[in-house]
Amino acid sequence: MTNAQAATKIVRVSDPVNLEFPFETLSSDLTPTDAFYVRNHFSQPEINVQAWRLSIEGAVEKPLQLTFPELLSMPTHTVTSVLECAGNSRVFLSPKVAGAQWGLGAVGNAEWKGVLLSTILERACLAEDAVDVVFEGADKGVPDEQPKPCNPIYYARSIPKSKALEANILLAYEMNGAPLSEAHGFPLRLIVPGWYGMASVKWLQRIVVTEYPYDGYFQKIDYAFWEERDGLPVRQPITEIELKSQIAQPAAHSVIDANSTCLIYGAAWTGSSKIAKVEVSVDGGKEWHLANLGESDNPHAWIFWHYQWKTSATPHDTILMCRATDTEGRSQPLTRDLNKESYRISHTLPISVQVR
């Protein structure tokens, strides 16, 4: 961890390093890289880029071994996308659940540049019966939660073949106009816009195409949930980011002047649709007021919003909330769905403040 990181981020776990963006400092559309959250399951691997190769293997007609210069020479693509950890805002859950107690800042918005995954998969020629594309990072360890393997495993996650061929899925080597930092996956990471961060595998070393559904640890044990199908509970991987808005300012426990105008602002984002409106409540969810929404042509980026709150002359304690609605008419729920276990914390979050 550099001093800059220690100064600007909240240390949620020190070993392995897990750092949070202080969401109350939100001020720029792109989250500066030195303030961007870091989510690691294992220790950061050491990679010698001269010796490093990206291997594409499994159900492909032409297995590939690509060097870093070869990747850099391919056609580039840039995408601005939110990356949100599926455990973002876990500290708001009651009763408490296991895992890093993230506040509001296990999320950020960045510009990612690299090579389209589809370009590489087309070169390798996927076999007709290919089902899943598995991405393996170079970091290794024994995970925390049971049932867990006895021996160290690499961090790995998959996406279905049809998703892997979509435009915008990137093998990224740049973040915010600079080479990817070691903490964010140098030399190469996957970026799956619209999906929770667990899919965006860092320190990529292997892409394995399978002819069967991949059921690895981070696919079906961690970052998964129980879903009822035909009356039977089945374990499903977490995928798409859920519609969400968060208040950056005022921060929780702020003291706000009575009889004043207070600017409430924050960001909103969604996995696949578009934000249609954000509403704000200054009385714990009894009444809702329309916020002013910023503009963004980028479907995967977050959007800023703000609301001018005229505080009353009477001192009181209150709860601020925000609620996003998308163009498909979906709104953030007011309460938590317990089936989501310790992930996808997308209901409206209470921010307690005092008016004095």
Question: Binding residues for ligand MTE, per CB under 6 A?
Answer: 36-41, 83, 85, 137, 139, 155, 184, 197-198, 200-203
Give min distance, CB of 325 to ligand MTE, in A: 25
Which CB, 235 or 316, lies closer to ligand MTE?
Answer: 235
Which CB, 85 or 120, lies closer to ligand MTE?
Answer: 85
CA distances from 235 to 179, 216, 224, 229, 345 (A): 37, 12, 6, 10, 19
Which CB, 14 or 314, lies closer to ligand MTE?
Answer: 14
Give min distance, CB of 337 to ligand MTE, in A: 20
DSSP state of 195: B
155, containing H or E segment: strand 153-160
Q: Which two tokens stand for residue 273?
A: 């649709």
124, containing H or E segment: helix 117-124
Give min distance, CB of 350 to ligand MTE, in A: 24
Give min distance, CB of 180 to ligand MTE, in A: 9
Give min distance, CB of 202 to ligand MTE, in A: 4
What are 54's strand-pairing partners?
66
Q: Which two tokens stand for residue 86?
A: 């599926």
Give min distance, CB of 153 to ligand MTE, in A: 11
Which CB, 68 or 350, lies closer to ligand MTE?
Answer: 68
- CB neighbours (10 Å) of residue 163? 17
What is the C-alpha to C-alpha distance for residues 3 and 6, in angstroms, rounded to an integer?
5
What is the C-alpha to C-alpha distance for residues 158 and 129, in angstroms, rounded to an integer?
16
Which CB, 89 or 200, lies closer to ligand MTE?
Answer: 200
Give min distance, CB of 83 to ligand MTE, in A: 6
Nearest in space to 290 (alpha carbons), one of 276, 302, 309, 277:
277
Give min distance, CB of 86 to ligand MTE, in A: 7
- Where does the chain have alpha helices with state H? 3-8, 68-72, 117-124, 161-164
DSSP state of 76: P
- CB neighbours (10 Å) of residue 119? 16
Nearest in space to 37 (alpha carbons), one of 84, 2, 92:
84
CA distances from 341 to 101, 111, 345 (A): 14, 31, 9
Which CB, 40 or 332, lies closer to ligand MTE?
Answer: 40
Which CB, 71 or 320, lies closer to ligand MTE?
Answer: 71
What is the C-alpha to C-alpha distance for residues 297 and 96, in angstroms, rounded to an integer?
38
Which CB, 180 or 262, lies closer to ligand MTE?
Answer: 180
